[in-house]
């Protein structure tokens, strides 16, 4: 075992990200004060944020607001507030964090976050999320539009023409709602411009993620990616977002060519499935970093889009390309067979030697089938696999001592299996 401390990136990309996110927070505060565009509440997975930007509206992601509270260790009192009002202990911790904040502040989840002008439930694969948006409708009295996106169910994982047409019809229904909210007429040329900026951003993000397939990986595709992803969601479709990822690409490519990674030494290359435990993010990272373990690929970095496998928005057919992205090219809308294939490809093409599965206590949708997943990878594919469970926002489900014991045992087993292979060769 080695004791490692993650390198701190102090380059232009982090300075620029700080500025961008401060600008975004200021835009939220102005809108909350009544001096800015109306807010549209969206979900992260497969969202049509380009359509929101095309109308000059402000995208707000309650999931991101909830995880930020968890990182700041503010989530537990809000979760308990929601539970005291009848929410189950097994309910999604993101939902309870946000609902608890609404109970606390009444008009919106925070004095610096605007109330919704529109509640756009763009991902309904999770019934709890659907009900979350219905609860927000009761709180805010804002209009609710449920954009029904079918699960991927074809054998090749691609959407059928009927599925695409079904989602496109809903986008056409949504456009007049956005026109009334923004006071602007729908301009397909403006949407094409936004989609072109998204396309350029997606190309850069794809190239960045493929950098982690090199040796050494210049960044951790789980922990560092979780930080890099914020502008990907709130600023995708803007010039500022595109320019930011150009800065990230330039800096990380230079680091990789110089042999610099997120740790002093890259001893193990791992792949991980599942969201991070936000209240214990640094502690969780240190549990792997002390072994020199770097996550070179993660499914969490694909919850908003899997652009590293070729999908790009097509500006020439705006509504069809938005529908296609929402239907297929994001992790939460994939079936279990597709997730197995995705993880297998990450292990193979990003040269991972072990798989970590982080099951989330309060998210049954994402964690469903994790036991079978462990059996498949460990016994069928013979991949060293660790299954652990905590939560994405509820700190009560994370035991640092137990988690560290499980991770240490797994890393020791990787060392043993490596020594065994060396002895045979």
23-60 pLDDT, tens digit each? 999 999 999 999 999 999 999 988 999 999 999 999 99
Q: So what's the pLDDT on residue 316?
A: 97
Mean pLDDT of the 248-277 span: 96
Q: So what's the pLDDT on residue 59?
A: 97
Is 317 a residue whose pLDDT tops 50? yes
Least confident of 91-100, 155-164, 248-257: 155-164
What pTM does this model have?
0.94
Distance, in Å, from the CA atom of 363 to the CA atom of 365, rounded to the nearest integer, reads 6
Helix segments in 183-238, DSSP class H? 188-211, 223-234
Q: So what's the pLDDT on residue 421?
A: 66
Q: So what's the pLDDT on residue 279?
A: 97
Q: So what's the pLDDT on residue 123?
A: 79
Mean pLDDT of the 254-268 span: 95
CA 54: distance to chain centroid? 22
Phi and psi, residue 99, nearest 5° = -65, -40
Q: So what's the pLDDT on residue 363?
A: 87
Q: So what's the pLDDT on residue 8?
A: 47
CA-wise closest residue to 201 among 146, 171, 242, 163? 242
Which residues, 6 or more positions from 175, have their beta carbon under 8 angstroms from its beta carbon? 51, 186
Q: So what's the pLDDT on residue 423?
A: 54
Dihedral of alpha carbons 98, 96, 99, 79, sign: negative
Q: Are the beta carbons of 295 and 263 closer than 8 angstroms?
A: no
- What are the angstrom distances between the C-alpha of 202 and each of 127, 193, 213, 236, 350? 29, 14, 17, 8, 19
What tens digit of pLDDT does each residue of 72-106 get? 999 999 999 999 999 999 899 999 999 999 999 98
Q: So what's the pLDDT on residue 152?
A: 78
Mean pLDDT of the 336-343 span: 92
Q: So what's the pLDDT on residue 422?
A: 59
Mean pLDDT of the 348-364 span: 95
Phi and psi, residue 42, nearest 5° = -125, 165
What is the percent of the chain where pLDDT is above 70?
A: 96
Mean pLDDT of the chain: 93
Q: So what's the pLDDT on residue 71?
A: 96
Is 125 a residue whose pLDDT tops 80? no
Mean pLDDT of the 252-267 span: 95
Token pair, residue 407, equals 């991770």
Q: So what's the pLDDT on residue 124?
A: 67
Q: So what's the pLDDT on residue 425?
A: 55
What tens digit of pLDDT does each residue of 380-414 get? 999 999 999 999 999 999 999 999 999 999 999 99
Mean pLDDT of the 293-306 span: 94
Mean pLDDT of the 329-346 span: 90
């Amino acid at each position: 075992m080695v004791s490692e401390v993650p390198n701190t990136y102090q380059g232009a990309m982090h300075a620029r990200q700080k500025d961008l996110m401060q600008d975004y927070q200021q835009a939220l505060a102005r809108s909350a004060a009544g001096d800015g565009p109306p807010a549209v509440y969206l979900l992260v997975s497969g969202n049509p944020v380009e359509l929101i930007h095309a109308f000059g509206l402000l995208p707000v992601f309650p999931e991101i607001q909830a995880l930020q509270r968890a990182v700041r260790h503010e989530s537990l009192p809000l979760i308990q507030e929601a539970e005291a009002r009848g929410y189950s202990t097994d309910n999604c911790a993101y939902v309870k964090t946000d609902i608890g904040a609404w109970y606390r502040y009444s008009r919106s989840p925070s004095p610096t976050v605007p109330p919704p002008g529109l509640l756009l439930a763009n991902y309904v694969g999770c019934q709890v999320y659907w009900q979350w948006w219905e609860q927000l409708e009761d709180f805010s009295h804002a209009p609710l539009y449920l954009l029904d996106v079918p699960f991927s169910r074809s054998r090749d994982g691609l959407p059928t023409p009927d599925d695409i047409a079904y989602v496109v019809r809903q986008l056409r229904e949504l456009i007049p709602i956005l026109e009334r909210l923004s006071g602007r007429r729908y301009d397909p040329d403006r949407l094409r411009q936004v989609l072109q900026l998204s396309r350029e951003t997606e190309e850069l993000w794809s190239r960045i993620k493929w950098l982690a397939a090199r040796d050494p990986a210049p960044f951790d595709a789980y922990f560092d990616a979780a930080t890099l992803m914020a502008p990907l969601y709130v600023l995708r479709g803007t010039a500022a977002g595109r320019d930011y990822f150009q800065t990230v690409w330039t800096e990380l490519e230079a680091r990789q060519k110089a042999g610099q990674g997120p740790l002093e030494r890259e001893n193990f290359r791992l792949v991980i499935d599942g969201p991070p435990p936000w209240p214990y993010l640094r502690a969780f990272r240190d549990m792997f970093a002390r072994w020199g373990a770097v996550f070179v690929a993660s499914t969490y970095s694909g919850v908003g889009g899997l652009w590293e496998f070729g999908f790009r928005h097509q500006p020439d057919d705006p509504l069809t390309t938005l529908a296609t992205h929402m239907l297929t090219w994001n992790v939460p809308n994939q079936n279990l067979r597709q997730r197995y294939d995705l993880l297998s490809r990450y292990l193979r093409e990003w040269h991972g030697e072990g798989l970590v599965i982080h099951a989330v206590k309060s998210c049954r949708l994402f964690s469903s089938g994790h036991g079978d997943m462990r059996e498949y990878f460990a016994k069928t594919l013979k991949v060293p696999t660790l299954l652990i469970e905590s939560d994405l926002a509820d700190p009560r489900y994370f035991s640092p001592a137990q988690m560290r014991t499980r991770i240490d045992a797994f890393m020791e087993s990787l060392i043993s299996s490596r020594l065994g292979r060396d002895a045979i060769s």
